[in-house]
Structure 1
Amino acid sequence: MDALLLFSMAAFFSTAVLGMGEGGADAGSPSREFLALDGDVAWVVQVTDLHLSAYHTERGDDLVRLLAPALLVIRPSLLLITGDITDAKNKKRSSTRQDESEWIQYRNAMDAIVRHNVIEKRRIFDIRGNHDKYGVPYVGHNLDFFSTHSINSQLHRHNTINSISLVGKNRIYHFLGIDDTIASGIRGPSNLFGHPTDRRLDAVESELQFWDNQPAGLVTKVVFGHFPMSFITSSKRGRSYESIFARQSVSAYICGHLHAKFSKKLWRLHMIDFPTDPKASKGVGQFWEWELGDWKESRLMRILAIDGGKVSFLDIGLSSQNQLLDDFPTTILITYPTDSRYMNQVEIKNPMVRHDINALVFSVQTILNVTARVFDSSRAFKIVEEIPLQSLNCSVISESLFHAKWNAENYKSMSASRLWLQVFVIDDTGKETASAMRPFSVEGKLAYHPSTWLAYLIFNVQWEDLYFFLLWSNACFLILLLFLPKLLNYFMENNESYQKCAMSISVSSPIRQKKVLFWVLWYLLEGSRSRKFWLAMVLYLLYLLKMPWFSGHATSEYGDIAKMYLHGWSIQTPSSTFMEEEQGYPDIMTITLPFLYLVVTPVFLLIYGLLAKSSGYCLYHGRKMRSSHEPLPRGQDQEFATQTPQKYSIGIISSWTMKLCGDWTRRTLLLLCLIITLIHSKLCSALMAAYGVGPVALSPALTWAPPLFLAAAVYASTTNAA
């Protein structure tokens, strides 16, 4: 094994030199670390979404007060900090910007943790999250504080890929960290997704592929990043990480980003079909994705262990009461057999059955007794077997590992959810601690575990595709709303069939159905009758689809002005000196979808409603005045009032248009106009706070067009009703 290690290090060193010669960090080449592992069971700690803030200093204080004692007890091989290290928001949380004091707070906290001798600095790896890139025009800019204050930067790990190999006696555990933050750090809210490049995807695949020349089963691969898979966009060539991870036999991908309000117990088994040998059938790869909740509010941390290639984890919430080392609670992580609900994979042929039980016990007290109990859920969880576990005590690090042999053949051919395992620990104070009870399968079968709608929404929906669907379905609806009634108007008026259609609806349809059909027909046809309004709405929609919505300080607070289109921000970057690059798709969904669904679409519908109501008023009162030979009011459309009644029966006009012209209809429409105006003003205020008051306020398509449309429609309907 020593020869293997020397060979691996030499090969890695040579590829590292070649990679740096081809462009270094920009080329996506990884920084590499080799760390010795005592034995063949490894455990690491992950924390994420620290959101250290100048206005909430307790978050940084708790890193030293809570995390340091926990690390002193756990003694992990690695500490992984998976993004959103700082909050990067102002006190009112209305705008995003980098604050160096937050990074200094982080640096001081991590230095204090290292001084507690709980972990070596070189075993700490931190990566950027989207908050750490807010307002950073490019890596190396004077606002890029990650490049000066992070642990990775202090240890000269300036690459977007971190490769860490824990080398044990007989096994290698490979961790790969990926920074997929957007190239130009657009300020929030349009900075939500990870954006891998094709060069980075190639580098990741190459790095994972290196260990494939080792004997099967001796290498375990775990990838960590900030963004869940569903929040990572595809590359320009349409590639994604899922197929790479599945093809390269990655065991698990761990991440953060969503916080505990959304991400408690969020996990997903990815199963990917990929082509293998052209003559053979398709291969199927699989890997787990486990999202961890935040440190910001929940003070969560994760212990992830690898035991003989089997990956397991335990999430712990550090209580504010645990201020001292002695307050850290006894913690138990069963490393084998793993939980069959969310740690096993789909059953493979001829699985290897291991005849052992392993558990990690972390405690400040001396452990006197560790016992594993097997329960049968089909017999009211009756105890089937009780197995005492013994400490290996072969080294300082492995003293936390307790082990026992058992006859696993007794539990073969059982369902994956029938047998449950629980470990009990008694310390020298007499206190007993029990682990959570969980199902297991000695054959590695996967148990069915019902998924929640939230887990499905977060993990199974690819948000990039969902945004594309929501965006263009709304655009198609608006196009139909504009052009379909116009075509109906054209054909009906030219063929004199408007009256026949209305009469057929009123006579042949059931009472309830005829009312609904008539109102819809009236609303569409009369709402689209005004050529001026219709043409203005068509031009406005075309503008939104092709032209910039608004301008603003997309990156730094006082940086260059950039334009936001439906397809992203147009930003000039150092790599594109003479041309602008489009970035931020689909991150802009947080701007475009609320504006389209809550402002533009309601405005178009209200314009139709106001015009249809005005038309009904003219129709009804025009008929009334013709029958009484009274002169038409000043300002009323005389041509419409004298010609249109000839197309309708008196019964329809007298019964339905009277309701249409009632005061409650007008008041309802005006109330809806006010509500949409308030929603629009709130959206504009949020964008002004994020990207600058002046540039956003001077953007006519976003700021001025919707209220002007409503004001004009209200004025037109008021004039006809005067």
Structure 2
Amino acid sequence: MIFSKIAISLIVALLLLSIFMSNLLNLIATDHNFYIEDRDGGINFTKYIGNKYNSVGSSPKNLIWFLQISDIHISIFRDPGRISQFQQFCDSTVKKVKPLVVLATGDLTDAKAKDNLGSSQVKTEWVYYYNIIKESGVTDDTVWLDIRGNHDNFNIKALNDQANYFRNYSVQGSLRPKSYVHIDESNGVKVAFMGIDACPEPGLRRPFNFIGVLDTREQQNIAKLYAEAKDKADHIVWFGHYPTSCIVMLDKEPEKMNLRKMIGESHSSQAYLCGHLHSMGGLVPFMYTKQKAGYLELELGDWKDNRLYRLVAIDHGHLSFIDQKHNVWPLVLVTNPKNARYLMPGREPLALSLASTHVRILAFSDVNIKTVEISFEKVHWMACYNVEGPLYVAQWTPSLYKEGLHNMYVRVVDELDKEAFIEHPFSLDGTIINFPVTPRILLMLDAGVVFQAVFSTLLILNVVPLVIMRITKQPPQPGRSFHQRMIRRMWLLSKVDRIFYPIVLYALYLPFGPWSIGELIDGHIGVIFAWGILIKGSFLPEPFTYIYGGVQLMFVQIPLILVLAQTLDYYLAEQYTRGYKRVVKHFPFILLLSVQLLLAYFFWLEYGTLSFIIGPLRTWSVPLSILLWYKTMTLPPDVCRKLLRLYEPTSQAPL
């Protein structure tokens, strides 16, 4: 019978896991895209673009390129190299590459205090940003399109707040303070750059400023700009600071605006370029995916720590890109044939590559390029010749590679013998390379839903086991393994009313009651809940609160249950132990209390004294823990007698 219960439980668990994995894989699938859903529209669009560009040969026509830089984080308190090397980027890199535009996708300044916890706009940082761009003269020959990130919105009461230095110390802020569109026609290519500003209003101090928000007014503004872009451009490149996974639509009605749906609605939308996630601290260096609507979403690693920037080209309707470290030369991008991983059926005239006559490569360096060579088997190398500017071409026979995946190798050497070597996979029959799972999860799921799921799971782990043990009359079988001892200790703890009810009620309070009341913006009192923030008569659906509460549950509340259970076990086993031995046994609680005090101290630095005092989440949990620990150590005699009748010592077993 026991075996049957275990088998049934295992089958149910595997079934639930398989359902979860099936749903997850469906959410992050990239093989059923907009082109498949609307094949006729895709064929019509690519036929139109293909006829417009006619054929891919050696001509420099129908080719543009531009740069992206993100998360610059200019700071007066740390890493002066961000400023000096950003100046080099403007003075040297931009002038060598000569892009059509430069997209600066948010977090232009750091806006963090010297202690790295407080946050507010620092005018000097904005002056550095403004002066570098102005004095470099970079805007004389290219268009600089900057937009705000969450750091540029710290502690901003409203868009017209004097502390919103983006209005006066950026290139676009004075005329385009929020979302905007810039349309350019150059070298036969009509492209619209759609900038999405999802900074919430008002802008809170960190950390509750992680998720972007598009309210009804901004949604309407974007829809209007998008209609203009579709009418006037053949290609649309979207850019913003937040990935689409980190943007919440406020007051969204069913069937109304959905940003991903809007981006993918027209076949002319090719990519959404963003930053914000900093490549997860370098753990996901290539955070790219193709959304279900068929366009690319490309997160760029930060300038702040990694000094990265991106080169993007649209060549005869094909969008290609490469991310590059600052001051690493040569910079090389193959535009035909396009990288197989980033093919977009229905959005690019892919048939032009199969009919093309030349391989096309963009090659840049801070000195003259000496040689550009290609090979398809790394044995025989073929020289490319320069057509104009950075464009190098070589004749080829694409019919030899018309089926399956192939690799082309590119070697570029400049006159200082600096070398770049590129392995370039391509296909001419639509064969693609799948994107890795991790970037698909980060860019295709909804961060708010994930944060809420994590918080809910931790809340369940905090409450449900204790409740089940509370209603279970039969004590667990004693054993020597750690989990057996701990289950028995928790079962015993669940029988103590003065411990059980405060722990459970506090956990149940977290999803509903306020976590803190304080000055979330200078001069304005706000209230933090799990499900959002109320301030200045506005509701901000900031899902990052769930992660903040999840930290409390993971590193405070759940460990507190385990520590109290162990303390109760020691108390019942050795009530008369004194001195050093008892202090050592209470070291886990001392460590836990230190963690709580540290978290409360950080919260005080972030939001001030009032938030610290009226802070049920961080501050009030400290005296609650101390009280519960004290009550565990001072149980009344009648409670002890009741527990001792159920008790078999586990503390003598090795931990």
Could you say which TM-score interval applies, normalised by the shorter chain? 0.7 to 0.9
Q: Is residue 73 of structure 2 the alignment partner of residue 48 of structure 1?
A: no
Which residue of 209, 222, 247 corresponds with 2:237? 222
Which of 126, 131, 153 is equivalent to 2:151?
A: 131
Distance 2:538 2:231 in 1: 40
Distance 1:531 1:467 in 2: 32
- Within 5 Å, give how 1:444-523 maps onto structure 2: 444-448=430-434, 451=436, 453=438, 455=439, 458-488=442-472, 492=473, 498=474, 505=477, 519=485, 522-523=488-489
User: Match for 1:703 among 597, 619, 633?
Assistant: 619
Q: Secondary structure at the match of 1:289?
A: strand
Among 514, 520, 541, the residue aligned to 2:507: 541
Is 1:108 paired with 2:108? no
Deviation at 1:550, TM superposition (A): 1.6
Partner in structure 2 of residue 676 of structure 1:
592
Contact 2:355 2:398 in 1 (8 A): yes
Tell me if the contact between 2:517 and 2:610 (Cα under 8 Å) persists in the aligned partners.
Answer: no
Q: CA deviation at 1:204?
A: 3.5
Structure with the bigger RCO (C-alpha within 8 Å, sep 6+) is: 2
> How many Å apart are 1:347 and its aligned residue?
11
**Contact between 1:333 and 1:361, CA under 8 Å: does it hold in 2?**
yes
Among 592, 595, 602, the alignment partner of 2:559 is 602
Q: Which residue of structure 2 aligns with residue 386 of structure 1?
A: 382
Q: Which residue in the other structure is 1:407 paired with?
A: 397
Q: Which residue of 2 aligns with 1:87?
A: 110
Q: Given the alignment of the two structures, is residue 142 of structure 1 paired with residue 144 of structure 2, yes or no?
A: no
Matches within 5 A, 1:633-712: 670-712=586-628
Offset of residue 685 of structure 1: 0.7
CA shift in 2, pair 1:203/1:700, >3 Å? closer
- CA distance in 1: counterparts of 2:259 and 2:132, whole angstroms: 33
Q: CA deviation at 1:252?
A: 1.3
Shift of 1:593: 1.5
Structure 2 CA distance for partners of 1:339 and 1:535, relative to 1, 3 Å: same
| Aligned residue in 2 for 1:280 | none
Q: Is the 8 A contact 2:499 2:631 kept in 1?
A: no
Q: More displaced, 675-684 or 585-594?
A: 585-594
Match of 1:164 in 2: 182
Q: Does 1:554 align with 2:520?
A: yes
Deviations 1:526-571 (A, max 9, x none): 2122323333334323432322112222123xx2222211112210
* Structure 2: distance between partners of 1:164 and 1:86: 23
Distance 2:316 2:349 in 1: 19
Match of 1:232? Answer: 247
Change (3 A) 1:122 1:183: farther
Q: 1:308 maps to which residue?
A: 316
Identify the match of residue 498 of structure 2 among 527, 532, 550: 532
Question: Which residue does the alignment assign to 1:176?
Answer: 194
Alignment of 1:426-437 (within 5 A): 427=415, 431=417, 433-437=419-423
Question: Equivalent of 2:326, from 318, 321, 342?
Answer: 318
- Does the Cα contact within 8 Å between 2:181 and 2:229 map onto a contact in 1? no
Deviation at 1:666, TM superposition (A): 6.1
**CA distance, structure 2, for counterparts of residue 528 and residue 663 of structure 1:** 28
Contact 1:345 1:446 in 2 (8 A): no
Alpha-carbon distance in structure 2 between the residues aligned to 1:152 and 1:350 = 35
Q: Give the 5 Å matches for 1:245-284.
A: 245-249=263-267, 250-259=269-278, 261-262=281-282, 265-272=285-292
2:531 corresponds to which of 542, 567, 580? 567
- Tell me how far apart the structure 2 counterparts of residues 678 and 457 of structure 1 sit (CA, whole Å): 35
Quote the Cα distance in structure 2 between the aligned partners of 1:189 and 1:75: 38
Q: Secondary structure at the match of 1:297?
A: helix
Distance 2:448 2:144 in 1: 32
Q: Secondary structure at the match of 1:142?
A: coil
Is the Cα contact below 8 Å between 1:197 and 1:236 reproduced in 2?
yes
Quote the offset at 1:163 in angstroms: 0.9
Q: Shift in Å at residue 124 of structure 1?
A: 0.9
> Who is 1:337 aligned against?
337
Instruction: Report the CA distance between 1:671 and its aligned residue.
Output: 1.6
Greater mean alpha carbon deviation, residues 337-346 or residues 135-144: 337-346
CA distances 1:179-206 after superposition (whole Å, capped 9, x unpaired) = 1112211111121122223443454355
- Is 1:440 aligned to residue 459 of structure 2? no
Please report how far the alpha carbon of residue 263 of structure 1 lies from its aligned counterpart in structure 2 after TM superposition: 6.6
Indicate the larger mover: 681-690 or 695-704. 695-704
Judged with a 3 Å threshold, the aligned counterparts in structure 2 of structure 1 residues 426 and 704 are, in CA distance, closer, same or farther, namely: closer
Distance in 1 (alpha carbons) for counterparts of 2:421 and 2:170? 35
**Contact residue 71 and residue 119 of structure 1 kept, 8 A:** no
Q: Is the 8 A contact 1:190 1:584 kept in 2?
A: no
Q: TM-score, normalized by length of structure 2? A: 0.78
What does the per-residue CA deviation read over 1:433-488, in whole Å, with 9 as the maximum and x for residues that have no partner?
44422112234532346x275x3553355321211111112222333244323323
- Assess if the C-alpha contact under 8 Å between 1:566 and 1:592 holds in 2: yes
- How far off its partner does 1:59 sit? 2.5
Q: In terms of mean alpha carbon deviation, does 348-357 or 670-679 score higher?
A: 348-357
1:171 alignment partner AA? V
**1:495 alignment counterpart:** none
- Could you tell me which amino acid in structure 1 is paired with residue 337 of structure 2? P
Q: Percent identity?
A: 22
Partner Cα separation in structure 2 for residue 434 and residue 122 of structure 1 = 26
Instruction: Give the number of equivalent residue pairs.
Output: 571
Q: RMSD value over aligned CA atoms?
A: 3.4
Gaps of 5+ in 2: 1-59, 641-655
1:546 and 1:364, CA in 2 relative to 1: closer, same or farther beyond 3 A?
closer
User: How many angstroms does 1:663 deviate by?
Assistant: 10
- 1:285-335 Cα shifts (integer Å, max 9, x gaps): 31112221222222222211110111112222224xxxxxxxx84433222
Structure 1's unaligned 5+ residue stretches are 1-37, 273-284, 320-327, 394-398, 493-497, 573-579, 622-660
